[in-house]
Amino acid sequence: ELKVEQNPLFLSMQEGKNYTIYCNYSTTSDRLYWYRQDPGKSLESLFVLLSNGAVKQEGRLMASLDTKARLSTLHITAAVHDLSATYFCAADSYNDMRFGAGTRLTVKP
């Protein structure tokens, strides 16, 4: 059974600092996804990672995938308040889609 674990679950950052959110999954996965959710809102797709070594960047966020280590990372560069949200990773293996519990990120001035 596919399991997805994120850490940390809660992250409080100062503006301007860098940090990384980690996403581990338990079995071979075809694809890895990152989503953002603002409080009381729906989920917004950020990145889709399809192969080992894939790296994607959008603004201050960069996601990478290491399929051998079964690990994806979401790196935040020079955080700003607008990045405050909950970030979810999800892995997809043989038609079994599983989400991590989410990382609640708060960026403080």
Interaction site with other proteins (CB under 8 A): 4, 9, 31, 33, 35, 41-45, 48, 88, 90, 92, 95-102
Nearer to other proteins, 13 or 91 (CB): 91
Element counts in the chain: helices (H) and strands (E): 0, 11
Q: How many CB atoms lie within 10 A of CB 61?
A: 19
Cα→Cα distances 94→29, 42, 104, Å: 8, 25, 28
Q: Smallest distance from the beta carbon of 39 to other proteins, in angstroms?
A: 12
Nearer to other proteins, 43 or 80 (CB): 43
Rounded CA gap, 11 and 57, in Å? 21
Q: Smallest distance from the beta carbon of 67 to other proteins, in angstroms?
A: 16
Question: To which H or E segment does residue 74 belong?
Answer: strand 71-76
Q: Smallest distance from the beta carbon of 78 to other proteins, in angstroms?
A: 27
Nearer to other proteins, 82 or 96 (CB): 96
